[in-house]
């Protein structure tokens, strides 16, 4: 069972993402605090991270860069998401593997998740 970590400061998004991804058969952990992203990654060892861009006090792009520059975590694919127009343009330089704009289409999200995990379409 593939493991996914979701980082977003909006707790409503976290709860519904937890339901959705669990239902799709993933093992899910979530956090609403930017400072928990790195320790959670180390302890949970996810196969994929879904990371918001603006996380109340933390810049998700900086977290992504930290993950990608750490040899323990650099191999983990990161999909960033944001409702902020123009956020997509700046994420590749921080090492993110993909981006999805909020509000996203669930099927589109699942396609991106499966692509990063090397899983076929469901």
Binding site for other proteins (CB under 8 A): 9-10, 12-13, 15-17, 19-20, 23-24, 33-35, 54-59, 83-85, 102-106
Alpha-carbon 9 to chain mean position = 12
How far apart are CB 60 and other proteins at their closest, in Å?
Answer: 8
As a whole number of angstroms, the distance between CA 34 and CA 47 comes to: 19
Report the relative pairing of strands 27-31 and 78-82 from DSSP bridges: unpaired
As a whole number of angstroms, the distance between CA 62 and CA 33 comes to: 14
Nearest CB to other proteins, comparing residues 16 and 74: 16
What is the torsion angle, in degrees rounded to the nearest 10, for the CA atoms of residue 122, residue 94, residue 53 and residue 49? 40
Nearest CB to other proteins, comparing residues 85 and 118: 85
As a whole number of angstroms, the distance between CA 119 and CA 104 comes to: 20
How far apart are CB 18 and other proteins at their closest, in Å?
Answer: 10
How far apart are CB 58 and other proteins at their closest, in Å?
Answer: 6
How far apart are CB 114 and other proteins at their closest, in Å?
Answer: 15
Nearest CB to other proteins, comparing residues 49 and 53: 53
């Amino acid at each position: 069972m593939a493991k996914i970590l979701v980082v977003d400061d909006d707790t409503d998004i976290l709860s519904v993402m937890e339901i959705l991804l669990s239902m799709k058969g993933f093992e899910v952990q979530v956090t609403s605090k930017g400072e928990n992203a790195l320790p959670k990654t180390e302890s949970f060892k996810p196969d994929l991270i879904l990371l918001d861009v603006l996380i109340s006090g933390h810049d998700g792009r900086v977290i992504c860069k930290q993950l990608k520059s750490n040899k323990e975590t650099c191999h983990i694919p990161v999909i960033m998401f944001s409702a902020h127009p123009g956020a997509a343009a700046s994420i590749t330089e921080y090492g993110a593997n993909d981006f999805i704009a909020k509000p996203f289409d669930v099927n589109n999200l699942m396609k991106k998740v499966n692509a990063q995990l090397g899983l076929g379409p469901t």
